[in-house]
Structure formats: C-alpha cells, structure tokens
Amino acid sequence: MKPSMGWSMALIALWLGGCASVSTDPRAGGLAGGIKGLSTGAYDARIQEREDRLAVLRQVQAELETERGDLETTKAKRKQQVAAERARVRRMNRDIAALNQRVNSLSAAANRNDQRVQTLRIRVAQLQNQSARLQSDLDALEGSGIGDSEADLRRAQLEQQRASLQAEYDLLNRMALDLAR
Amino acid sequence: MTRQRTSGNLTLALLAACTFAGRAQGAGVPLDEIRQVLREQALRAPAESVLQDLDAANLASGLQAIDPAARYFPRALYRSPNRGRDSMSGIGAELLPSGDDLWLLPFLGGAAAAAGLTERARLRTIDGRSVAGLSLDEIAQRLRGPEGTRVVLGVEDAAGDTWRLTIQRRSFHPLDVELVQPGGQPVLRVREFAAGLTRPALLATLDFIAEGASRSKHQSIILDLRDATGGDLFEALDIAALFLPEGAPLATLVARGGVTQTIRAPAGADLEQPLILLIGPGTASAAEILAGILRDHGRARLVGQTTYGKCDSQTEVRLSDGSVLRFTNRAVRLPSGEHCSGVGIVPDLAVDTATLNDLSRLVPRASGALVAP
C-alpha cells in the first residue's frame, strides 16, 4: 500500500505541476503537459516557435555583425580620410613656407613700402597661422576616437577649411608670381 | 556690459592654454613708434599731449584712454587672432558674469560637456564651496588645474534645476562652428569669426546637417550668436555674403578723414533657407555687424536682446622690435547707413533674459518668429 500511495502522490504532484504552467515554452512544461502536447501537436508548434525564435535571434545577430562591420569600415575609412587630409595639409604647409620665402625675397628686392608686397606678406603670414592651426586640429582628431558624430563634424569642417585655405594659397601664389614678373 | 566683456576675456585667458597679455613689459617698449602709428593711422587722431603722456609703465591704461580697443602685445606674448581658438586645457567652458549670475558656457567636446554639461548653466559651487563672495580671479583660480585633475561643480541650469558634476580637466580643440540640436532643431553656434576658417566650417556644418537628416532645402537655419564676441570683420562679411545675392552692399568702412570703402557681396553660395539669428548683449563687433547686415537686407529675423554695440574694426601693426599694436582704424556702417557703436542692434523679436539663457525655450520662440506676422 505504501509504495502505490507514494506513486499516486508523485503523479498528483506532477499533474498539479503541469496544471500550474500555462506556458507554451517546452522548457516550462510539465510531464503531463508534454504528454498532452505529444498527442495534440502543440509540442511541434513549440518546437517550431523555438526554431523561429532562434532564426530571429540569428538574424539580429547577423545584422549586428554587419552593422559592426560597417562601423569598422566607416571608422577605417574616416581614419584614411583624416590621414589623407593630414598629408594634404603637410603638403600645403610646405608650399606656404616656400611661398613665404619667395615673398620675403620679393620684399627685399622691391621697395619695402610697396603696398602690394606688404599685403601679400600679411596674407601669407595669416595663411601660415591658419594652416598651422589646421594641422594641429587634424593631429588631435587622429588621436581622438574617430567615428562618433562630433568627430565626423570636426572632420567635415577641417576638410572644407583646408580646401578654402588651399584656394587662398593658390590666389596668393598667383599674386606673388605676378609681382615677381 | 563693460564688466561682462572684460570678464569674459579674462576668463578665456585663464582657461585657455594660449593667452594674451595686455600689459607692456616695462623697458624696451617702442613708445615713439606707437605714438607715430596712432598719430597717422588711428580712426580719430589723439591729441598730441595724450600721446606724449604714454609711458611704458602704464601703457595699457594710457592706450585705452585713447582707444578702448587698443592693446599692446610684446613679441613673446602675441598670438594672431586670425588663428581662431587654439587647443585649450581645463574644464572646457567659458565663464560669463551677467548681473548677479556667473554662467558657465561649455564647449562641445570639452571636459564639462563630457561630464554632461552641454548647455549654459549658473555656477554655484566649486568643490563644495559657494562662489558667492569670491572674486572672478579667485573663481578662475579654483577652476584651473593640471590636465587630468578633477573638480566638482555645483550648477543650476537655465530651467532652475540644480546638480553636481565631476569634471576631469583635459585638453581639447574647440570647433569653429558647434552644432547643437535642442528638440531636434539644428542650431549652429559661432563664438568667434576666425579669418578663413569660420565660413568654410559653417558651410561644412550645413552640409553635415543635410547629409545626416533628410533636411529640406527650405528648412530654416538658426545661427546662435549670443556668445559671439567678434573676430575677423571680413570673415563676418564673407558669411553675410553667403545669404545675399552678388553685389548686395555689405558694409561701408570709414577710415580717418571720412575716407570710405563699400564692400559688396561676391558671387557665392546664395543660400536660400530662412535664417534666424540669436543675439544678445554678448553679441559684439563682427557678430553684430553680421546681424545688422542681414537684418538690413531683410534676410534674417533677429531674436533675443540688443547686442553689445561696437561697430568699429581694429588693425594690427607689427613694430620694429616684433611687438604688436592693435588699434581702431575704421568705423563700420551697415547697409542702412547705421553705425551701431554705443547703440547695438535691436532684435526683431525681443525675449526676456530667462528665455535668452535657455536654448530649449529660445529656439521654439525663434522658430515661431519666422511665421509670426
């Protein structure tokens, strides 16, 4: 009597356990639920649901991987752009230094009070200052975390500023050449 | 207003890595050259007796008695204003006294902004001690410190909320044009007009906004000039020209003896978006000239409070020993013929001081100004 009584208690406990759960998650289902599920097809539905859920998770993971890859690519691209920009500014600085020497020679050869030469001297000096600051900003940008929105804005500003200074250099260079003739 | 400007400059000098110094260094000052330059080139010729009274020991005050904008920089201390703002080190904010309040104006990318202070706020305590009763020098002294060290500030934002933030001092490079977006509306903040640098930075920022969001070509542009204390006049004129058709008069420069030169807009971007300028008592010199030009052409709505009132321009002369003299050599007349010195530029839509200091309230008011009759 005692053993059979024990089995009955266990079955009741399992039965109650099954009843207590209304989840369709197979991991949460009790024995009775499982048995019931086998006969009704709900178990297959749960398996399908689990597979669907896994598929969604895999999809999300794949999208995150792609996004991470895109971010890395963008970051690498930005780094390359900053490096290229730094090289352009270095080149421009060399050109401005050479222009400065030419203007100094012009200044020595021409009348020191020649207004055009004086104007050129002032503008070349100004360009040197601006370009030096640009170089410093680009150096700092390369050292910072490239890739966030603020860094992107900074890079965009520096690129346009460099292009603007380059145009100013070209103009001053033409002026210097005209004066040298 | 004078206190505000002077103090603002003081703070910048204290917080920035590179500083100006306005005092002469005693002996060796080329006084005769200074007298000669001012005698020949200053907008208003000083009396000979005043020029002769200049001496090396009190040069700063002597110069300012002649011309409030005049400064002498010994060679070693001169830094060209055309460079714009160099790298700074510190808490990454300017200090602006206004009435009884002391405002912190954080720079985007600076240490204060990194600690969460992205808009102006009143400074209340430094490391637990109230700033009430402290002089500006003492406050600046407490805010300064080596890179990497921390300071705890108690602040009250424009809405009246108080909070504490721990700031780790560090170096940073201020942007020439900052982009802030209260309520999703892009606002371009300019604090200084750096020759050859601010205009391209502004254009780049407009492109950046256009790329980032499907921004309509006709969506308004809001330029925040509340803290723009001036800079290069021609950069400001170039920026005005971005919004005006070719040939539009920008300003007339009046030199000694009434000699005038009218500057006109070159062919350029001719940006068509509606334009709003935020202005206030801190908007000075080149910045208020920009505001005045665009207002005179009916090209921008001005929102805020009357500007500082300085429509003169300065030039710099390098002296034989390498030192530099800065002085006023031109008055600037707006397209309407107005000269704003001592008067300022009056906004189309005036707001109270609480609104002026709170960008999240000011921007909706400003946007409404475009559609208001």
Q: How far is CA A132 from the centre of its chain?
A: 27
Q: Is the pLDDT of residue A177 over 60?
A: yes
- B312 burial (CB, 10 Å; 0-12 / 13-18 / 19+) is buried
Q: What is the pLDDT of residues B277-326, one digit of tens each?
A: 999 999 999 999 999 999 999 999 999 999 999 999 998 888 999 899 99
- Tokens at residue B141, please? 């002294």
**pLDDT tens digits, residue range B161-190?**
999 999 999 988 889 999 998 888 899 999
Burial of residue B200, with CB atoms counted within 10 A of its CB: 0-12 exposed, 13-18 middle, 19 or more buried: buried
Close Cβ partners of B217 (under 8 Å, ≥ 6 residues apart): B272, B273
The predicted model gives A96-100 an average pLDDT of 91
Find, among B69, B7, B62, the residue nearest to B286 by Cα. B69
Query: Helix/strand/coil (H, E, C) string of A45-101?
Result: HHHHHHHHHHHHHHHHHHHHHHHHHHHHHHHHHHHHHHHHHHHHHHHHHHHHHHHHH
pLDDT on residue B214:
53
Backbone φ, ψ for residue B336 (5° rounding): -75, -10
A45 or B85, which is more confident? A45
Rg of chain A over Cα atoms, rounded to whole angstroms, equals: 38
What pLDDT band is residue A46 in, cutting at 50, 70 and 90? confident
Cα–Cα distance measured from residue B202 to residue B287, given in angstroms and rounded to the nearest whole number: 14
pLDDT reported for residue B18: 33
pLDDT tens digit string along A140-170? Answer: 887 665 557 888 898 899 999 999 999 999 9
In degrees and rounded to multiples of 5, residue B300 shows phi and psi of -140, 150
φ, ψ at B25 (rounded to 5°):
-105, 60
Percent of chain A with pLDDT over 90: 12
Across the range A133-137, mean pLDDT stands at: 85
Subunit contact B201:A129, Cβ cutoff 8 A: no
Burial B73-108 (b: 16+ CB within 10 A, else e): bbeebbebbbbbbebbbbbbbbbbbbeeebbbbbbb
pLDDT in tens, A53-86: 888 888 888 888 887 787 788 778 878 888 888 8
The CATH number of domain B88-172 is 2.60.40.10: no
Q: Chain B residues with CB inside 8 Å of A133's CB?
A: 83-84, 86, 197
Chain A, nearest residue to B209 by Cα:
A153
Characterize the bridge pairing of strands B170-172 and B88-90.
antiparallel
A48 pLDDT band, cuts 50/70/90, is confident
Q: Which CATH superfamily is domain B1-84+175-367 in?
A: 2-enoyl-CoA Hydratase; Chain A, domain 1 (3.90.226.10)
Residue ranges with strand state E in chain B = 71-73, 88-90, 93-98, 101-106, 121-126, 129-130, 150-157, 162-168, 170-172, 178-180, 187-189, 221-224, 249-254, 260-264, 275-279, 300-304, 312-318, 324-333, 349-350
Q: Tell me whether A171 touches chain B (CB under 8 Å).
A: no
Q: What pLDDT shows up at residue B84?
A: 59
> Predicted confidence band at A37 (pLDDT cuts at 50, 70, 90)?
low
Comparing C-alpha atoms, which of B111, B110, B88 is closest to residue B13? Answer: B88
Interface of A with B in 39-58 (CB under 8 A): none
Q: Are the Cβ atoms of B175 and A129 closer than 8 angstroms?
A: no
- Tell me how close the Cα of A28 comes to any Cα of chain B, in angstroms: 45
Picking from B173, B179, B195, the nearest residue to A137 by CB comes out as B173
Read off the amino acid at residue B244. Answer: L
Q: Give me the pLDDT at residue A65, please.
A: 84
Closest CA to B277 of B310, B307, B301, B311: B301
Amino acid found at B88: M
Q: What is the mean pLDDT of chain B?
A: 87
pTM of the model: 0.78
> Which residue of A132, A141, A161 is in closest CB contact with B201?
A161
Domain limits, chain B: 1-84+175-367, 88-172
For residues A21 and A42, what is the distance between their CA atoms, to the nearest angstrom? 14
pLDDT on residue B349 = 96
Q: What is the pLDDT of residue B33?
A: 94
Partner residues linked to B313 by β-bridges = B330
pLDDT of B16 > 50? The answer is: no
Q: Is A101 left (phi over 0), alpha (psi -120 to 50) or beta?
A: alpha
Which positions 126-165 of A are in contact with B (Cβ < 8 Å)?
A: 126-127, 129-130, 132-134, 136-137, 140-141, 149-150, 152-154, 156-157, 159-161, 163-165
CB pairs under 8 A between A and B: 73
Which two three-digit tokens encode residue B327?
A: 């002085």
Q: In chain B, whose CA is at the least distance from the CA of A139? A: B173
Please give the average per-residue pLDDT across A97-123, as a whole number: 79
pLDDT at B307: 97
How much of chain B exceeds pLDDT 70, in percent?
88
First CA to last CA across chain B, in angstroms? 32
Q: What is the pLDDT of residue A19?
A: 42
Burial of B359 (0-12, 13-18, 19+ CB in 10 A): buried
**Among B320, B317, B294, B316, which Cα is nearest to B307's?**
B294
Q: CB–CB of A163 and B87 under 8 A?
A: no
Catalytically active residues of B are 285, 296, 310
Q: CB neighbours of B371 closer than 8 A, spacing ≥ 6? A: none
B-chain residues within 8 Å CB-CB of A89? none
Q: What is the DSSP letter of B82?
A: G
Closest approach of chain B CAs to the CA of A144, in angstroms?
10
A30/chain B closest Cα distance in angstroms: 51
Q: Domain segments of chain A: what residues?
A: 73-180
Token pair 């062919």: residue: B267
SS3 of B93, please?
strand
Whether chain A has a CB inside 8 Å of the CB on B177: the answer is yes
Collapsing DSSP to helix, strand or coil, A125 comes out as helix
CA distance A106 to A118: 10
Q: Are strands B162-168 and B170-172 parallel, antiparallel or unpaired?
A: unpaired
Segment (H or E) for A155: helix A149-180
Return mean pLDDT, chain A.
75
- Residue B111 DSSP label: H
